[in-house]
Structure 1
Amino acid sequence: MSQELAAGEPLGSLRVIGYSVQGRPIHLWQLTQGIRSLLLIGGVHGDEVEGYALIERYVASGKWGSLAGKATLWAIPRLNPDGCALGQRLNANGVDLNRNLPTQDWIPASLEARYPPGAA
């Protein structure tokens, strides 16, 4: 990954954008730079291995290089690294992150036991 972005960062640059409840890093890759912005999120649920495995393989493949100059491509393979490490849908606080979004109709009550939205 030795090509350079227009801003001077190497293609495939990795950043830590935060930490999980259990202190695991949440990684963000900036793969290319260009006119449009695209975001790939691989895994919100830790028990859905296919999503984060696919994005990790894609990042490692370098096949995204053809987007350089056309799109700024970002990738977050594991949005829920605790769930991935534990092999469970929920994060370490027992929250389904796919149900914990700032929407107009969000409520803290769990409508189904499998999908707890968290307290806030």
Structure 2
Amino acid sequence: MARSEMYSKGTETRRELMGDAMAEQMASTVYNDPLMEKFADWTREAVFGLLWTRPGLDLKTRALITVITDTATSAWPELRIHLRMARRQGWTEDELGEALLHTAGYIGAPAVREALLVARETFAEINAEA
């Protein structure tokens, strides 16, 4: 894939959101084959390059929106990634828990319960890494 300006911008934004260690870990495990590499290229350009860098919302707000949409769509593996991003953007465990709990009235208790279980595991992993 030709490396566009949006690809470069997306790569930089993705690394800022994930941190060096997580970006490298994902590159060497999840995106280490031709099929997934194409997906990674597309997300760097379209998602991180175009969506995450739009004016109007800061990265912290976008991270919270992404956590909520992962929960609403039951995207549990993605939720793990995006909870880490949200923590890196300054959201506390309590704030993220409260945001997830708030959504129970709108998307349902079962999805929020699962999201909170994922959050509990993810936060424990983050704390163990620190």
Output the TM-score relative to the length of structure 1.
0.27
Please state which structure has a larger fraction of its residues in strand: 1
Query: Over alpha carbons, which structure has the higher Rg?
Result: 1
Please state which structure has a larger fraction of its residues in helix: 2
Output the TM-score relative to the length of structure 2.
0.25
